[in-house]
Chain A
Amino acid sequence: MNYIDRIQPIHLDILKEAGNIGAGHAATSLSTLLNRKIDMKVPNVRIVPFAEMMELTGGSEKEVVSVGLRIEGEAGGNMFFMLAVEEANRFIQKLMGDESFTFRDHNTHTMGFSAMQEMGNILSGSYLSALGDFTQLKLQPSVPELAVDMFGAIISYGLLEISQYSDYTIVIDTILTETDEGDVETVKGHFFLLLSPDSFPILFEALGAGYDK
């Protein structure tokens, strides 16, 4: 039986809680970095066909800034912190006090690219360490990599390993938001956690949920 077919609603709830804890810590880190209040939505945990995964956040062709890393250790997978280019520009402009910064210019502003990579590093680091504490699993992040490119071209890397097992993936999608004085809520970024199929039994066992192997 395919691993996806063994997933029960309780498993999705557990993953939602894992995402909640991980992204909650990341949101706190981001608030501290920017000295502004960043909120987090309840994670969206779903089983989706690849085709649908490719169309999240505005379509496979949408240009995004992404910091991605591989998770290694007792469980494996891929994590991406992604945001729209305009939003990433605003982040780095604020962080560096340089209004002229843009991710569309690859030749100058190398400092801004490093800052973004470092920010992604801090955020995914807090997500992952919270996840590790919650599950009591040893999880190590790889060195994060920055990419400014099409959403589909980037996220498909997270699907490669999964594609050896299925045409579906379990996606743990958490949205970070900020609400301004006018009560307008804007999306600050997405965390996508795509775990390897091998990791689910380990994770569920660690959290005390039965999983029919």
Chain B
Amino acid sequence: MINKISEIIKVGIADMNIVKPPNMIRTSGLGSCVGVVLYDEVSHIAGMVHVMLPDSNLAKADIKNKAKFADTGIQALIAELAKQGVRPGRLKAKIAGGAQMFQFKSGSDLMKIGPRNVAAVKEQLQQAHIPILSEDTGGSSGRTIEFDPMTFLLHIRTVNKGEQKI
């Protein structure tokens, strides 16, 4: 259960943040979006980014919010963790989200974005040589996730399929 003494750092949609124990970090209502947690087991410093779209090339206007896209979001989170003294080579990842909530037969490819987000996140992590220790991706359910930088456990809650820790 959630430790009442600690604070929960919230990460909004297309947003990112950093956490240290005893605090937790959380993002809620992930649908097709992907929550990416990067953490360092030595310093117990972690960060989370709530990715909305797979690639910054999808931007049709000048968008300064790096956290929105898998490519720029993960790079920005690595850079932010580096500012906290975390070497990229020590980072590990846990990811969740990327559901396919709707089937919308017509319409743009954007409606099938969940699996594309997951693939883009994985590609980005691979390029950065960051191993994915566990994941809960795909499916058709929304997720709320909370990471504890003390235990490195990612708590996942869904409406339809209960709770788990990975």
Contact yes or no, A167 B68, CB < 8 A: yes
**With a CB–CB cut-off of 8 A, which chain B residues contact A166?**
61, 63
Q: Return the contact of A157 from the options B28, B62, B68, B102 (Cβ within 8 A).
A: B102
**Does B118 touch A at the CB level, under 8 Å?**
no
A153 to B28, CA, bound (A): 8
Tell me which of A15-23, A29-37, A57-65, A110-118 binds B.
Answer: A57-65
**Does A213 touch B at the CB level, under 8 Å?**
no
CB-CB contacts below 8 Å: A111-132 with B:
none
Q: A153-B101, A156-B29 are in contact. Are A161 and B59 (CB under 8 A)?
A: no
Q: A150-B142, A164-B61 are in contact. Are A68 and B32 (CB under 8 A)?
A: no
Q: A156-B13, A156-B52, A160-B111 are in contact. Are A54 and B29 (CB under 8 A)?
A: yes
**With a CB–CB cut-off of 8 A, which chain B residues contact A154?**
31, 101, 142
A149 to B97, CA, bound (A): 14
CB 8 Å contact bits of A159-192 with B (1 = contact, 0 = none): 1110111110000000000000000000000000
Q: Which residue of B lies closest to A153 (CB)?
A: B142
- Interface residue tally on A, bucketed by range: 20 to 34
**Does A142 touch B at the CB level, under 8 Å?**
yes
Q: Which residue of A lies closest to B143 (CB)?
A: A153
Q: A142-B105, A163-B52, A167-B68 are in contact. Are A152 and B30 (CB under 8 A)?
A: yes
Q: Return the contact of B101 from the options A60, A143, A157 (Cβ within 8 A).
A: A157
A163 to B141, CA, bound (A): 21
Contact yes or no, A157 B111, CB < 8 A: yes
Q: A150-B142, A164-B58 are in contact. Are A159 and B13 (CB under 8 A)?
A: yes
**With a CB–CB cut-off of 8 A, which chain A residues contact B86?**
none
**Does B160 touch A at the CB level, under 8 Å?**
yes
**Does A91 touch B at the CB level, under 8 Å?**
no
A146 to B109, CA, bound (A): 20
Contact yes or no, A147 B105, CB < 8 A: no
**With a CB–CB cut-off of 8 A, which chain B residues contact A157?**
31-32, 101-102, 111
**With a CB–CB cut-off of 8 A, which chain A residues contact B30?**
152-153
Q: Contacts A145-B102, A150-B159, A165-B61 known; list 4 others, CB within 8 Å.
A: A2-B62, A70-B107, A145-B103, A157-B32
The 4 closest A-B pairs by CB, nearest first: A152-B29, A153-B142, A60-B29, A153-B31
- B interface, CB within 8 angstroms of A: 12-15, 28-33, 52-53, 58-63, 65, 68, 99, 101-108, 110-111, 113, 141-144, 157, 159-160
- A interface, CB within 8 angstroms of B: 2-3, 50-51, 54, 59-61, 63, 68, 70, 72, 106, 142-143, 145, 147-154, 156-157, 159-161, 163-167
